[in-house]
Amino acid sequence: MSKTDPGRFFEDFRLDETLAHATPRTVSDADSALYLALTGTRFAVNSADPFARAIGYARAPLDDFLAFHIVFGKTVPDVSINAVANLGYASGVFGVPLYPGDTVTARSAVIGLRENSNRETGTVYLRSQGVNERGETVVDYVRWVMVRKRDKRAPAPTPSVPKLPPAVMPGELVVPSWLDLRGYDRALAGARQGWSDYAVGERIDHLDGMTIEEAEHAMATRLYQNTAKVHFNQHSERQGRFGRRLIYGGHVISLARALSFNGLANAFRIAALNGGRHVAPTFAGDTLYAWSEVLDKAELPGRSDVGALRLRLVAAKDHPCGDFPDKTGEAYHAAVVLDLDYWALMPR
């Protein structure tokens, strides 16, 4: 029995199998502090216990994307060690908040497999779920990833591609009954505008830029126990596609979300991840800027205090976003690195 795990190759995945991922993790205040030190996030609900309690939380929860990255990281050793590219996300729903002291475990189901025509790689579709120690779902999402084959001659599985919705439906969003935004203090949160102040089609330039250092993205990615080699090994990446380490796409998401505070300060909760694409790689030394577009607005059943905004978050590197760098057809502006589609909750 080999003692080391080289990771799964495409032909190792079976449709409908379930993967129970290793390395449970008890999170703490320190995860929030490190996340803050690495991203500069300022959303008040994740920053202060009294603010969070005033709207029904037990205390300040971990940032939603921090929770997502911790769950995602657990899937990497089983799923994407031999990945060529992380292709997309869909159907991500955020459930219960993740609090300091909670323990996260993760599992995934293989929901689709399709070999590529070159027979050297294939796409694996997975539904992954992170749960707390009470078995409650913290986040549940689909991603698909291109994985190398160990052996080009290995037989291809019957192609199976799941039908994925373009977005989570507003009725599927988790809006806890304990959540009560009457206690939400917009002055403390840092902006007056609420859900009713945003219009579909509106675009917001988030103004600020943030430069990324090697130590920063590596620390963030290790904090998530994400073991994908491309982020950490300069010795091997020197020979690789880019000649250098690639920044974990999730760190780019987190930085773009932190930048989006300036314009979306009251988008206090990520409710769903509708989709997302890492359009281009990001490297240490790059400076990220971001802009957002309001794609949709939804009232929430039985709630007059809170609404949902469907937002598109676009990050660009070394390019301020006053001109809203975008895509034309399928071709993206050369500076764009991230195109993310999510639902956020906001006081009305």
- Please choose, out of 61-69, 152-160, 171-179, 201-209, the segment that lies near a copy of itself by the rule CB under 8 A: 201-209
Site for a copy of itself in 59-78 (CB under 8 A): 60, 77
Closest by CA position to 105, among listed 70, 79, 143: 70
Nearer to a copy of itself, 46 or 91 (CB): 46
Nearer to a copy of itself, 47 or 116 (CB): 47
State the minimum distance, in angstroms, from the CB of residue 66 to a copy of itself.
12
Cβ atoms of 140 and 172 closer than 8 Å: no
Contact with a copy of itself (CB under 8 A) among 37, 58, 169, 334: 37
Would you tell me how many other CB atoms lie within 10 Å of the CB of residue 20? Answer: 10
Min. distance of Cβ 75 from a copy of itself in angstroms? 13
Is the Cβ–Cβ distance between 340 and 274 less than 8 Å?
no
139-178 positions binding a copy of itself, by CB under 8 A: none
Q: How far apart are CA 122 and CA 258, in angstroms?
A: 34
State the CB neighbour count (10 A cutoff) for residue 53. 14
Of 146-154, 174-182, 196-204, 338-346: span binding a copy of itself (CB under 8 A): 196-204
- Is residue 207 part of the contact set for a copy of itself (CB under 8 A)? yes
Q: Which of 5/16 has CB closer to a copy of itself? A: 5
Q: Which two tokens stand for residue 181?
A: 């935004």
For residue 231, the number of C-alpha atoms closer than 13 Å in the C-beta half-sphere is 27
CB 125 within 8 A of CB 161: yes
Helix 249-259 × helix 29-39 angle, to 10°: 80
**Which region, judged by CB under 8 A, interacts with a copy of itself, from 116-124, 149-157, 194-202, 306-314?**
194-202
| Residues of span 238-257 touching a copy of itself by CB under 8 A | 245
80-109 residues near a copy of itself, rule: CB under 8 A: 103, 105
Nearer to a copy of itself, 179 or 264 (CB): 264
Q: How far is the CB of 329 from a copy of itself (least distance, A)?
A: 28
Q: How far apart are CA 64 and CA 139, in angstroms?
A: 9
User: Binding segment for a copy of itself among 113-121, 176-184, 185-193, 271-279 (CB under 8 A)?
Assistant: 185-193
Q: How far is the CB of 163 from a copy of itself (least distance, A)?
A: 31
Q: Which is nearer to a copy of itself, 162 or 190 (CB)?
A: 190
Residue among 156 and 219 whose Cβ is closer to a copy of itself: 219
Residues 6+ apart with CB under 8 A from 245: 214, 217, 218, 230, 231, 232, 233, 234, 237, 283, 284
User: Is the Cβ–Cβ distance between 82 and 147 less than 8 Å?
Assistant: yes
Q: Report the site for a copy of itself in 299-338 (rule: CB under 8 A).
A: 318, 320
The region of 40-48, 119-127, 268-276, 295-303 touching a copy of itself under the rule CB under 8 A is 40-48
Q: Please, which of residues 268-287 interact with a copy of itself by CB under 8 A? A: 285, 287
Residues 7-26 that bind a copy of itself (CB under 8 A): 20, 22-26
Nearer to a copy of itself, 43 or 144 (CB): 43
Among 96, 115, 283, 319, CA closest to 207 = 319
Contacts of 289 (CB under 8 A, 6+ apart): 206, 208, 209, 259, 315, 316, 317, 319, 320, 321
For 328, the token pair is 């034309």
Token pair for 33: 């502090």
Cβ closest to a copy of itself, residue 199 vs residue 331: 199
Segment near a copy of itself (CB under 8 A); pick from 30-38, 137-145, 176-184, 338-346: 30-38
Instruction: Enumerate residues 6+ apart whose C-beta is below 8 A from 200.
Output: 294, 295, 296, 297
Q: What is the spatial distance between Cα 242 and Cα 249, in angstroms, rounded to a whole number?
A: 15
How many Å is the Cα radius of gyration of the chain? 20
